[in-house]
Amino acid sequence: MMRSKGTVYLIHFDKPLKHARHYLGWADRLDARLAHHRTGNGARLMAAVATAGIGWEVVRTWPGDRTWERRLKRGKNAPQICPVCNPGNRRRERA
């Protein structure tokens, strides 16, 4: 099975939306995917963030595929890998 390479990315919200403070995603074309997020399309969480008027920024990226994205999501450790929440962790490579 051929896996599609792309970019795994971590978004940090300016303020929490209920319990959520991050969004972790994957895109084969990152710029296009982020444009969708800015307009509130794509992921439900990002639509809710847009509706709530919460700002956000991409704070970390990794080259990878959906398998890498799922692995990071299953770890449920976004605050630990987020350089905003954890300033000592500013690396851009795989966590």
The two three-digit tokens of residue 35, written as one number: 């444009």
Whether pLDDT at 92 is above 80: no
In this prediction the pTM is: 0.85
Q: What is the mean pLDDT of residues 26-39?
A: 93
The Cα–Cα gap between 16 and 63 comes to 26
Q: Which amino acid is at 18?
A: K
Answer whether 17's CB lies under 8 Å from 48's CB.
yes
Is residue 57 within 8 A of residue 11, CB to CB? The reply is: yes
**pLDDT of amino acid 95:** 39
Mean pLDDT of the chain: 87
What number is the average pLDDT over the span 42-70? Answer: 92
56-64 sheet: strands from edge to edge:
20-27, 6-17, 56-64
Residue 41: per-residue pLDDT: 82
